[in-house]
A = this chain, B = another copy of it.
Amino acid sequence: MTVERIDLGPIALSRLVYGMWRLGDDPDTRPAHVQAKVEACLAQGITTMDQADIYGGYAAEALLGAALRAAPGLRDRIEIVTKCDIVAPVGRHAAAPVKYYDTSAAHVTASVEMSLREMATDRIDLLLIHRPDPLMDHHDTGRALDGLVASGKVRAVGVSNFRPWDVRLLQSAMTTPLVTNQIELSLICREPFVNGDLAFLQERGLPPMAWSPLAGGRLRAEGPGPLRELMDDLARAAGTDWGAVAVAWLLHHPARVMPVLGTNSLDRIARISDACRVPMDRPTWFRLYTAAQGHEVP
């Protein structure tokens, strides 16, 4: 079974994305093991790898880089998404006096150069501004992003955690189109379905990426209850687990959501695409939505 692909114009991503933010939490970070994870994704048609400069304390990109160096040809079989603008006092930024955001042209450009080096590649398929920066000079940032695309070092540009006004502001200073917004979205984080965030992306034809589609385990941690029972029932009927149901719930939305899933278990990686075969229809979608919010729609 191969997962669908989403055309974003300059690039295409796999509908399901493998998230590498905890790559360094695995006791085994050797290139061969990282490679095995990527291959387990590729076997399902999951070709898109989600990174960020800051993941693993600015160390996760290098773990992927080592695997790519060790496996010639692997780079060309995947798309690499990475992010920048968070400066936290750890790793290479240990001297920072506080956690802050930096969308200056100088920082964005330097961050991309470092990401290219760390991941042993000559191009980033998709670069995202990681967090909206209350101090963003959109002209400066926009010019830097346009320049990175023109140089070929970055194939496409997007944002993450932006609200509609943030997207409009940055886009207003760019010629390259922003192609996605990676936002938190799940049965627990439902605000974007009603606060205009998804509507804005749908109107612009921008498929969102969804981080924490399982709400970082909170979906499960809440203990027994109507939502858990319903997820378990649907999972049982589809021969899979509750996580696949939660992801299928996102896949059913017309905005063409691309969930980002991160796990270090090869076994669970091999079952990420189970979500694509969980049957989902409108009443079932609303049963899950209703159970999650604890009351019926108005």
Contacts and interface: CB of A to CB of B under 8 A. Distances in A.
Interface residues of A, number: 49
Q: Copy number in this complex?
A: 3
Given A99-B290, A203-B172, A297-B101, A135 B285 contact: yes
A72 interface: no
A100 to B, nearest CB: 3
A99 B253 CA distance: 18
B203 A286 contact: no
Interface in A85-128: 87, 96-102, 104
Nearest to A100: B286
A134 B287 contact: no
A287 B165 CA distance: 25
Given A137-B254, A290-B99, A165 B283 contact: no
Interface string A125-139: 000000110111111
A253 B133 CA distance: 11
17 contacts: A87-B283, A96-B283, A97-B283, A99-B296, A99-B297, A100-B287, A100-B290, A131-B297, A132-B194, A135-B252, A135-B253, A140-B254, A163-B194, A163-B196, A164-B165, A168-B199, A169-B203
